[in-house]
Amino acid sequence: MTMLRSAGVALLAMWALSAAAGQVRVAVAANMAAPMQKIAGDFARATGHEASIALGSTGKFHVQIRSGAPFEVLLAADDETPARLEREGLGVPGTRFTYATGRLVLWSADPAAVDPQGQVLSRPPAGKLAIADPKLAPYGAAAVQAMTRLGVLQAWQPNIVQGENIGQAFQFAATGAAPLAFVALAQVMADGRIAKGSAWIVPARLHSPLRQDAIVLKPGQANPAAAALMNYLKSDAARATLRGYGYEF
């Protein structure tokens, strides 16, 4: 009887979780692709809610949201876009917060191409250098700032190729189309170390801080799954995942 009662309680708990489960549509900055896949899985197991993820550039998401795209939460690559959406009446006041601070890295798929001090940028350019579109992607803007402050932008300008977002910039380098790329540390780090290739982590003093904010958008205002995701992003479990990909707080 006790075993039957315990099984019944477990089934009731599972049914309650299933009945309360919902879905939240999330626009996610491309630099968050890998960690967000893990966070979404952990979030589903912890809450029963599903996060439906779309990846892209923060600037493009801003345009889509203003045009009526039904995203319910935005995980941006900056703090300016969520603040702007709130001012424009498209974000829910009081929901915006910084969920992580990112790091920019110069990366190559070639294990010997990038030295630990980034001196490769001071040598005459050889081959293409990929960055995300600085007009759409905060990591692309940070790359331009870093090269400007290092005094190498003019020399490298003819060799720069732009991806629409940081994911495309990474693909240029990963496939060999560009020997070098400025990407997010999260794209090349796993379990607290550079997983492949060679990299130079760009000193934070060379560019504006890559504070990444999240905000609930108007379509998600009454969605419990949206509120649950925002709470989960503040949890120790989510932050542990983000730290493993090089994000700071």
Task: Show the tokens assigned to 52.
Answer: 């439906």
Contact 180, 120 (CB under 8 A): yes
* pLDDT mean over 16-28: 78
CA angle 159, 112, 176 (to 5 degrees): 45
pTM of the model: 0.89
For the chain, give percent helix, strand, coil, nearest 5: 45, 25, 30
pLDDT interval class at 20 (50, 70, 90): low
DSSP state of 38: H
Comparing 14-23, 25-34, 77-86, the range with the smallest average pLDDT is: 14-23
Q: Where are the beta strands (DSSP E) in the chain?
A: 23-29, 50-56, 73-75, 97-102, 104-108, 129-132, 160-163, 180-184, 189-190, 193-194, 198-201, 210-216
- Residue 9's pLDDT is 45
3 state SS of 6:
helix
Domains of the chain in start order, with CATH, are 23-101+210-244 (3.40.190.10), 103-206 (3.40.190.10)
The mean pLDDT of the chain is 93
- Residue 19's pLDDT is 45
- Residue 163's pLDDT is 96
Report d(CA 90, CA 117) in Å as an integer.
42
- Residue 3's pLDDT is 47
- Residue 4's pLDDT is 45
